[in-house]
Structure 1
Amino acid sequence: MDHDTFVGQVQARARLSSRGAAETATRATLETLAERVPAPLADHLAAQLPMEIGEHLRRVAAAPDQPVTGIRMSRPEFFDRVSQRSGAEYPKAVHEARCVVEVVGEATQGALTDKVRKSMDDDLAGVLFAGSTGNT
């Protein structure tokens, strides 16, 4: 899947008014995901996404001021971070993040998406991956 297709899918599924809004939702979700999952997993996931999309995962995983990845965070904390990054209200941020993760699942190998899901507690994974219909 190329960058334009990825962003277009996020825009359509999240019912966003612009490609810029879809880019923002994608960046916010993937930067937060990169904080949550172990750095090697974020890097592997980034390698399977379009370069511009994968950079959102790599940037956080490799940031010198971000000494820890794989941070345990509750479901509300995860979506609060997405909301803060995107500027979307909490319920909208949840919806947008789920749409981004759904597109990520379709753009990557199913086994990798399963590893991402398994790296999270059940409460967060249950909400974030609800409705994912990709290769998982």
Structure 2
Amino acid sequence: MEYNEFITHVQSLAQSNSREEAERATRATLATIKERLPQDEAQAVAAELPLELGQPLQATEGESNASFSMQEFISRVSQKENIEPTTTVIHVRAVFAVLQNAINPEKFAKFHHYFDHGYEELFTTSPNSEIPAL
């Protein structure tokens, strides 16, 4: 999946007002995913994404493989986006849904494994179910 397609899908699923909002949501979510995953796993996901999307997952600053709750995950993304947490949840769900369709299913299953049961509400869409063809 190419960068523009990824962002367009995030914007559509999140019902974002602008492309810039979808880009901010995507960058903030990916940067927070990087804080949650082991470095090698974040790099494996990044390798399957366009360069512009892979960069936040490959950044060297910040914690890696930190264990924190879904609420903390949402809080971190919310702070990065500088928006309300309720809107952040919608954005994160959209990014996760597009990510699920952008990377190979085995890699996504491994990625999903790093998020405990408390995160399930962020993984509510099934593969290909809500992402329309462009």
TM-score (norm 2): 0.91
Q: Which has the higher contact order (CA 8 A, sep 6+)?
A: 2
Q: After superposition, where does 1:1-136 map in structure 2 within 5 Å?
A: 1-59=1-59, 62-63=60-61, 66=62, 68-124=63-119, 126-134=120-128
Runs (4 or more) in structure 1 with deviation over 6 Å come to none
Structure 2 CA distance for partners of 1:55 and 1:132, relative to 1, 3 Å: farther
Contact 1:82–1:93 (8 Å) recurs in 2? yes
**CA root-mean-square deviation:** 1.3
Distance in structure 2 (CA, Å) of the matches to 1:30 and 1:73:
15
**Where do 5+ consecutive residues of structure 2 fail to align?**
130-134
Q: Which residue of 1 aligns with 2:132?
A: none
Unpaired stretches in structure 1, ≥5 consecutive residues: none
Aligned residues: 129
Identical-residue share of aligned pairs (%): 35
Task: Provide the C-alpha distance between the structure 2 equivalents of 1:118 and 1:108, rounded to a whole number of angstroms.
Answer: 15
